[in-house]
Amino acid sequence: MSTKKTSKSDSQTTKKKASSSKVSSQVNDFDVCDYDHQTTKILQRFITGTVHEVQYPLQTIAKRMEKKKKKYKDRDFEYI
């Protein structure tokens, strides 16, 4: 009889350990998801800020290049 009680208590202990490991793995999964979410948000903010900082200088350069292209469009240059 004592072996039956021991085997029952062992199986209960095993079940408790398994359920606690499931819970801890779920917590770790949430931590990983939260970390990934935070990393994604940080990266998104960085890219948005970089685009905002670079946008206007690039537009200015593009406008100047268009002016130069129009200015020299019909000119014929002699190559030496």
Q: For 15-49, how does the pLDDT look when each residue is reduced to its tens digit (9 = 90+)?
A: 555 555 555 555 566 677 788 889 999 999 999 99
- What is the rounded distance in angstroms from the CA atom of residue 71 to the CA atom of residue 79? 19
pLDDT of residue 21: 54
pTM of the model: 0.43
61 pLDDT more than 60: yes
Cβ contacts of 10 within 8 Å, gap of 6 or more? none
